[in-house]
């Protein structure tokens, strides 16, 4: 219905445009008054001077240079994925129902293909592209269409649902790429351009101003416990299809990735939100260097300071973030910060909201040291805090490159499922098996392409996990749980 409405809008626009074109033509035919003469019943004098503009646009208000620089580096991202529907099988063995009880969900069957689209930004000339995680989430196939209309299949390098950022790679060189701008220097009231592909209308440029910074609008709450929202808010028109596109300043520098709109209709209604480049660049660097994002945590439970809280807690300031508690193994608590303190600065940057604090901390990695300024009573204090990861350590967690390599076990070949397969199937880890027919797993009924997610309820993510569990089981049977590429869940028993 929405597509029909949109097409109707285009049709009406074409009709209106045609009317204007005809009217303009009529003004210039042989019956039109001579140049310089007054038209009847109008106060407008049509002269040749009006056909060319000699007006010079003031510096800082000319969007042409930025638009010409940015447009070639913004791509159209299209996705294909399968729509799934759950149903419980009638022929499943009673053993599996008894084993899983009420947790048994049956399997999924394919309902048909679906399409999606969004935008992306080329950030490196050798084919690296940033987009939103929600643009490619669970996609079976990702394609990228360049501004020059060339089309490439894209590989998913990595994702970070906590910031809604994903990194793609296409096999191409010498591509136009955008440079990162410093989103910290972006000021409210500054002109910006949004470039993307709304409603599949390629290479669309809209302009607006930055209307706010550090916005937390709650759209990433379902992504996990460590979601980070500190959006740049603008009034540049952004619509469905703009997601993953570029927000740039008038120099053409990338200052954000357009991600969301505030709307009750699904279309632009005045406000749009972009992930700032300070977060984007950190996420991309982590995905390239470590294979996953290194999330640094301060380890505090925050509450924003307002007049009511200041009165209740007898605070001496209305600025900052109130420390209401600590997480386990808190980096802040270890550094001497106490409950009731008010954090006012991170490395000299003033903090007034939880979103601002998150934005500052998330650009660092576990083991990095930051300077935290806080108020206790009427005194201003500082603490040097060594940030930690979610496990409470300062270690960098790097994906083992060997974990993705295949391993032969009992004649079958095992390899870790790709990021794209995990996203598509909505699973956190799994190991794909091939060559089952000539292996020790043939009698189970398992088929090639099956992705094992757990063995005896022990999650597996690498071939080494499978090998370890199988070797540690000396006698008895094992229950293997997993999913096929089309979404069907399956369970197999194997004796050891």
Active site residues: 134, 164, 243
- Which CA distances in Å does 423 have to 61, 157, 365? 42, 12, 25
Cβ neighbours of 336 (radius 10 Å): 15
List for the chain the helix, strand, coil content (%; round to 5). 25, 35, 40
d(CA 53, CA 45): 16
Please state the three-class secondary structure of 38-76 as a single string.
ECCCCCCECCHHHHCCCCCCCCCCCCHHHHHHHHHHEEE
| End-to-end Cα spacing for the chain | 56
Which residues in 89-137 belong to E strands, given as ranges? 107-124, 128-132
Contact 147, 202 (CB under 8 A): yes
| DSSP bridge pairs for 120 | 75
Which residues in 101-252 belong to E strands, given as ranges? 107-124, 128-132, 141-145, 151-153, 155-160, 165-169, 191-196, 204-215, 231-234, 246-248
d(CA 130, CA 146): 13
d(CA 361, CA 370): 8
d(CA 159, CA 292): 8
Cβ neighbours of 154 (radius 10 Å): 24
CA atoms within 13 A on the CB side of 328: 3
d(CA 347, CA 369): 10
Name the burial class of residue 5, with classes exposed (0-12), middle (13-18) and buried (19+) by CB atoms within 10 angstroms of its CB: exposed
d(CA 244, CA 121): 7
Helix (H) or strand (E) holding 284: helix 277-290
d(CA 263, CA 99): 46
């Amino acid at each position: 219905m929405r597509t029909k409405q949109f097409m109707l809008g285009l049709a009406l626009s074409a009709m209106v445009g045609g009317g204007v074109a005809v009217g303009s033509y009529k003004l210039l035919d042989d019956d039109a008054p001579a140049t310089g003469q007054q038209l009847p019943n109008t106060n407008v004098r049509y002269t040749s001077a009006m056909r060319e503009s000699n007006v010079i646009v003031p510096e800082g208000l000319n969007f042409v240079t930025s638009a010409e620089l940015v447009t070639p580096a913004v791509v159209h991202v299209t996705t294909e994925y399968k729509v799934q529907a759950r149903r419980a099988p009638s022929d499943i063995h009673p053993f599996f129902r008894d084993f899983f009880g009420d947790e048994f969900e049956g399997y999924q069957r394919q309902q048909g293909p679906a399409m999606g689209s969004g935008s992306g930004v080329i950030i490196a000339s050798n084919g690296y592209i940033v987009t939103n995680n929600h643009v490619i989430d669970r996609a079976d196939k990702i394609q990228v269409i360049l501004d020059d209309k060339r089309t490439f299949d894209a590989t998913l390098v990595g994702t970070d649902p906590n910031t809604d950022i994903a990194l793609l790679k296409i096999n191409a060189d010498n591509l136009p790429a955008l440079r990162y701008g410093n989103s910290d220097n972006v000021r409210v009231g500054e002109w910006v351009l949004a470039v993307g592909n709304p409603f599949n209308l390629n290479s669309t440029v809209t302009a607006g101003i930055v209307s706010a910074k550090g916005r937390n609008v709650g759209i990433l709450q379902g992504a996990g416990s460590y979601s980070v929202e500190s959006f740049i808010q603008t009034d540049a028109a952004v619509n469905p299809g703009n997601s993953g596109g570029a927000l740039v300043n008038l120099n053409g520098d990338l200052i954000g990735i357009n991600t969301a709109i505030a709307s009750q209709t699904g279309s632009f209604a005045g406000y749009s939100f972009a992930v700032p480049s300070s977060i984007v660049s950190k996420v991309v660097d982590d995905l390239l260097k470590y294979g996953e994002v290194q999330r640094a945590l301060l380890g505090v439970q925050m509450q924003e300071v307002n007049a009511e809280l200041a009165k209740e807690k007898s605070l001496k300031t209305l600025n900052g973030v109130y420390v209401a508690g600590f997480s386990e193994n808190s980096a802040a608590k270890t550094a001497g910060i106490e409950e009731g303190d008010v954090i006012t600065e991170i490395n000299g940057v003033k903090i007034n909201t939880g979103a601002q604090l998150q934005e500052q901390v998330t650009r660092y990695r576990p083991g990095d040291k930051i300077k935290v300024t806080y108020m206790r009573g009427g005194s201003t204090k500082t603490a040097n805090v060594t940030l930690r990861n979610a496990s409470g350590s300062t270690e960098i967690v790097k994906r083992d490159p060997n974990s993705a390599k295949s391993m032969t076990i009992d004649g079958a070949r095992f390899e870790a499922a790709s990021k794209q397969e995990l996203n598509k199937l909505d699973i956190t880890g799994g190991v794909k098996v091939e060559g089952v027919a000539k292996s020790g797993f043939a009698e189970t009924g398992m088929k090639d392409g099956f992705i094992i997610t757990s063995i005896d309820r022990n999650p597996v993510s690498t071939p080494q996990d499978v090998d370890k569990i199988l070797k540690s089981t000396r006698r008895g049977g094992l229950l293997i749980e997993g999913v096929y590429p089309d979404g069907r869940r399956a369970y197999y028993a194997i004796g050891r």
